[in-house]
Amino acid sequence: MSDLVCENLSMTFANPQTGVKIEALKDINFSLKRGELLSVLGPSGCGKTTLLNMIAGFLNPTAGKMSLGGNLIEGPGVERGMVFQQGALFEWLTVSKNVDFGLRMKKTPESESNQLVEKWLDIVGLQGFGDTPTYQLSGGMQQRVALARCLVNGPDVILMDEPLGALDALTREKMQSLILKLWKETGKTIIIITHSVEEALLLGERLFVMAPRPGRIHKEYNLPFAGKGLTKSLRDIKHEGYFGEVREEILTMIWDMEEEIMGGV
Amino acid sequence: MFSWLSEERASIAAVIIVTLLLCLVISIVIGLKQTAYRAKDEVFGDPERTLGGWYWTLTGISSILLLWFYFSWGMARAFFPETGNELCQAAKIDTAIAPITAALPINSRYFKSTTLTRRNLEQLEILEKNLPVDVYDKAEQEKLFRIILQSKQIIEIFSNPKNQSSDSIRAFKTIQDGFRELSKTLGFGYKGLIPDPEALAQPKWGTDLTEIPLLPTTPRGVLLDKTSQDAKLLTKLFLKTRNNSAAADALIKTTKEMINNIKESNEASDFEEEILSKRFAYVKAVERIFRRLDDGTIFPPSALDNLSNSVNDFFLAITETRGSLNIVDRIFVPGDGVVKSKTQCTEQGSGRWLPKPTDVIATFLKLANPDIEGGGGYKGSTLLWWKWIQIADILAFFIPDSLIDLFPGDYGRHSETGVFQPNFKDKALALAQGDIYLGAVPMLDGHIWDSLFRVIVALALGIGLGVPLGIYMGISRFFKSFFDPIIELYRPVPPLAWAPLVLTIFGIQDDGKIFLLFMVAFAIMVISARTGASGTQLSKIRASHSLGASDRQILRYVILPNAMPEILTGIRISIGVCWGTLVAAEMLAGTTGIGFIENVARVVSNYELIWVTILIMGLLGLAFDILMRWAIVKTIPWRGKG
């Protein structure tokens, strides 16, 4: 019963000065089973981040409803963890204090929380960095901290808003493997938003390509690559023929959408 | 030890100056080498250069200290310690013959007689033209014209060589010969002259309130001093000399009678107020000019020629005698030299308003001496020391007497046997009034502490109230909009503009000043805390919501630490502004504090004290800033790195 269900989600933003209304999202319907990994692609302005913020509870939809495991989503909650593009770490805290943040807010006993923090730092590959200030970490390491900080609270769903967008190619690939590993080991439901078609294909068990004006789900794919990624090298997967075909198809799709937007000017 | 340091300050300064010169030369050499060495790997505009180099810092510090020594005559005193005394003796001569030089074209362009003649004739012309015909009748007008005419004639008689009094001719000859004699004596030199033991026992230059010792301490000084005393006699004779001839006397007598005549008729008359005042004014103006003429100080044009020459020769002889002193005076004594007034010799120009570095240190040490009876401290308070304060007094400060009134029961009364046995309520009242002994704690004391205390209390209040309000203004529409107008309206007013009002309401002692500083600190703290709180990244807020933090937890664990850099910067600014405002407020009113000392020093023109207070304020301000910078690095190492 840990399904994430979205029914007829719509979101309209009104500019308070001009009164012009923009339909950021219209009639989004989907449901995600527990342990599914969904990646979302789309041209800029198609409402990807808006969708994620709504699921996280930061925004209220103008119409429709969302539920997680049968409970209506009405605001932010620990069961939906969020990982931001820039980490959004608390730079005044050390690595372990950052990871510990959620536990501290719940007033978890120190002995218990220390153990949990150690465990998750180990899993994301940051053993020994507990006392480092976060501002001394590289971008990739900061994202690892953000992942651990989110996972230590035991969320049902992990929402990632372009988590690897600011990383260099090599670090990115390592982080992609890490995300797949975490997905496999924890069996969490994950939604990941990305700008990179390759990343979406590699990570997404399911993939939504969204279209703008109004934001909607344009096409849905079910992909085999995420499963393979657990055992095979990600670089090898990229060279598979089917991977290339889908990538070209989606690139063309998004290209056309962008053309359409530009052509309208 | 201390008195030895004080006595030997000239030699100490000499050592310091030589050291500084060495530092200057060495640092410049190192600096130039470093510049040449780095020229290869640093292009123009390289920000690396803003890191500076210790050698140029050393050059800067030595230069400024050397300039200070130079312009304060510190170098003159260090290497030529007798300069002040000898210049003083030379100044004595200038003062002694000042009336004679004033009559001659020395330091001026005209003989005094020429100036007097010219000015008086000009003014007589003007009076003649402006005779008020409407307030004086015909006969009186005639008389006034006559007075003016006779005044002119007096000048004419004085100026005529034929009429010059024989007394004055003789006197000028005597004075002239006197100067020739003095020049001759000066020419013999000062070999064999010995200063008085009394003179040698005087405190050294600058070690005493008299600054420059008055009695001559060198053979040259003895000669100059002796000359000045002889010259004084010549001046006495010169001042007595008058150009009174029989012709002039007769004219002066009749003119005086006519003036008195007019004055009497004025006093006897019953004119209207307005006319009367005009009559008085005119006759007064006429009389003023007449009085300048009747004492016979105008002499014929060539009467003083010989005297003038002999005085010029005398000055040449003095210059000859001064010898090496002239060079020291010209090179090491910038400003207007030494001037002798009635009772003392004083330094003029930069030597006066810029005290020597060593003197400033000596004054500071005297001020810092905690032994008030032994001449330390200032105006009955130490600079910075400690004292015991009664714990009972501190408690009494916090417990209001009226609180005890609210206790149940009545205050005690005396019994029928005439004894007073205090009950519980009486004892509580004694506590509230500080009348019991509860032990004492050591506490800082003194002018510096008084100033610091005001800043610290005001700052604590400003931070304690300003930061919470600022944070709430950073996160709440209501707080922001409600308080913004109030704070933004009073903040831009310069703090000192509030001072007269605040000091009137809260008193000129601690209360008023603390409130004034509180106003300053509060506004700065509110604004910085607000900026810090409102600058929290949305993603951090959202992340903490997702991590299950409550609103209160977000405020405490996310928004507050996020605002810390701004808050600490605000504190740093507050300290600076508070310190500046406080010193100015202390100068306005009060009886303790650094600003108070400077204000008193200003009133009594004690330049050393003024500089000491300026240096104390500068150093304390610097110390605050270094402390805050250190605190910022220690407490918010993530600043600018988030």
Domain boundaries, chain A: 22-79+156-265, 90-154
How many CB pairs below 8 A link A and B?
Answer: 73
List the single residue in B with minimal CA-CA distance to A146.
B543
- Grade residue B19 by pLDDT with cuts at 50, 70 and 90: very high
Q: Name which of B617, B568, B560 is nearest B593 in CA terms.
A: B617
How would residue B42 be classed by pLDDT, with cut points 50, 70 and 90?
Answer: confident
Contact B562 A92 (CB under 8 A): yes
In this predicted model, what pLDDT tens digit does every residue of B404-442 receive, in sequence order?
A: 888 888 888 888 888 888 888 888 888 888 888 888 888
CA distance A147 to A191: 13
pLDDT at B366: 86
pLDDT bin (cut points 50, 70, 90) of residue A265 is very low
CA B593-B596-B599 angle, 5° bins? 155
pLDDT band at B2 (very low <50, low <70, confident <90, very high): low
pLDDT digits (tens, 9 = 90+) for A90-133: 989 999 999 999 999 988 888 888 998 998 998 888 888 888 88
**First CA to last CA distance, chain B:** 56
Q: How far apart are CA B438 and CA B391, in angstroms?
A: 6
pLDDT of residue B544: 92
Pair (B515, B471) in one structural domain: yes
Are B603 and B535 in a shared domain? yes
Mutation target for B interface from A91, A142, A160: give the one with most B CBs within 10 A: A91
Q: Is B634 at the interface with chain A, CB within 8 A?
A: no
Q: In the listed set B396, B415, B444, which residue is the last one of a domain according to the structure?
A: B444
Distance in angstroms between the alpha carbons of the first and the last residue of chain A: 46
Which residues of chain B are within 8 Å of residue A135 when distances are taken between CB atoms? 637-638, 641-642
Q: Do B638 and A133 touch (CB under 8 A)?
A: yes
Within a domain: B77: no
Q: Mean pLDDT across the stretch B258-264?
A: 88
Identify whether residues B347 and B477 lie together within a single domain. Answer: no
Separation CA B303–CA B476 (nearest Å)? 94
pLDDT-derived band at B1 (thresholds 50, 70, 90) equals low
Q: Which residue has better confidence, A265 or B111?
A: B111
Tell me, yes or no, whether B212 and B63 share the same domain: no
Which residues partner with A30 through β-bridges? A6
Q: What is the pLDDT of residue B395?
A: 86
Same domain for B185 and B140: yes
pLDDT digits (tens, 9 = 90+) for B126-184: 998 988 888 888 888 888 899 999 999 999 999 999 888 888 999 999 999 999 999 99
| Burial class of residue A104 in the structure, from the number of CB atoms within 10 Å of its CB (0-12 exposed, 13-18 middle, 19+ buried) | middle
Residue B407 and residue B284 in one domain: no
Best residue of B546, B557, B559, B638 to probe chain A, by most A CBs closer than 10 Å: B546
Q: Does B556 touch chain A (CB under 8 A)?
A: no
pLDDT tens digits, B490-513: 889 998 899 889 988 988 888 889
* B601 within some domain: yes
Name which of A68, A85, A101, A104 to mutate to probe chain B: the one with the most chain B Cβ atoms within 10 A of its Cβ.
A101
* Among candidates B539, B544, B562 on the partner chain, residue whose Cβ is nearest the Cβ of A86: B539
- Residue A66: pLDDT above 80? yes
Question: Would you list the DSSP string of B145-157?
Answer: HHHHHHHHHHHHH
Our CA-based measurement puts residue A92 at a distance from the nearest CA of chain B, in whole angstroms, of 6
Asked whether residue B612 is domain-assigned, the answer is: yes
Decide if pLDDT at A210 tops 80.
Answer: yes
Per-residue pLDDT at B310: 94
Closest residue of chain B to A101, computed from CA coordinates = B547
Could you say which of B40, B71, B102 is where a domain stops? B71
Give the rounded percent of residues in chain B with a pLDDT score beyond 90: 51
Tokens matching residue A226 = 């995420």
B550 and A105 within 8 Å at the Cβ level: the answer is yes
- Please tell me whether residues B405 and B475 are part of one structural domain: no
**Contact state of A92 with B564 under an 8 Å Cβ cutoff:** yes
Asked, for residue B383, whether it belongs to a domain, the answer is: no
pLDDT in tens, B293-304: 888 889 999 889
CA–CA separation, A188 and A160 (whole Å) = 13
Identify whether B368 is part of a domain. Answer: no
Q: What does R_g of chain B's alpha carbons equal in angstroms?
A: 38
The band of A264, judged by pLDDT with boundaries at 50, 70 and 90, is low
Task: Note down the domain range covering B512.
Answer: 446-635
Is the CB of B543 less than 8 angstroms away from the CB of A84? yes
pLDDT range class, residue A1, cuts 50, 70, 90:
very low
**pLDDT band, residue A2 (cuts 50/70/90):** low
Q: For A18-22, B232-236, B363-367, which range has the lowest pLDDT when averaged over its residues? A: A18-22
pLDDT at residue A263, as a whole number: 66
- In sequence order, what are the beta bridge partners of A133? A94
| In a domain? residue B375 | no
User: pLDDT-based confidence at B611, cuts 50/70/90?
Assistant: very high
Identify the band that residue B641 occupies on the pLDDT scale cut at 50, 70 and 90: low
Residue B605 has pLDDT above 70, yes or no: yes
Residue B572 shares a structural domain with residue B454? yes
Picking from B71, B102, B122, the residue at the C-terminal end of a domain is: B71
Global pTM exceeds 0.80: no
**If you search the block for the tokens 């300290």, which residue do you land on?**
B575
Dihedral-angle region of residue B408 (phi above 0 means left; psi in -120 to 50 means alpha; beta otherwise): beta
In the predicted model, is pLDDT for residue A48 greater than 80? Answer: yes
pLDDT, chain B, mean = 89
Q: Into how many domains does chain B fold?
A: 4
Of B545, B636, B637, the CB nearest to A76: B545
ipTM value, please give it: 0.91
pLDDT band of residue B351 (cuts 50, 70, 90) is: confident
A92 with B542: Cβ contact below 8 A: no
Q: In chain A, what residues touch B553 (CB-CB under 8 Å)?
A: 105
* Chain B hits for A80, Cβ within 8 Å: 546
Same domain, B611 and B507: yes
Q: Which pLDDT belongs to residue B61?
A: 95
Asked whether the predicted pLDDT for residue B537 surpasses 70, the reply is yes
Residues B440 and B456 in one domain: no
Q: Is B221 within the bounds of a domain?
A: yes
Q: Decide if A66 contacts A5 (C-beta within 8 A).
A: yes
CATH code of the domain in which B598 resides = 1.10.3720.10
The reply to whether B635 touches chain A by the CB within 8 Å rule is no
d(CA A89, CA A135): 9
Is B221's pLDDT higher than 90? yes
A86 interaction partners in chain B (CB closer than 8 Å): 539
Q: Are residues B494 and B523 in the same domain?
A: yes
Please state, in angstroms and rounded to a whole number, the distance separating the CA atoms of residues B312 and A77.
103
Distance (Å, whole) CA A120 – CA A149: 8
CATH of domain A22-79+156-265: 3.40.50.300
Q: CA distances (Å), A264 to each of A15, A23, A256, B345, B363, in order?
A: 21, 17, 12, 94, 83
Lowest mean pLDDT among A17-31, A228-242, B219-233, B456-470: A228-242
For residues B144 and B251, state if they share a domain.
Answer: yes
| Residue numbers of B between 500 and 539 with CB closer than 8 Å to A | 537, 539
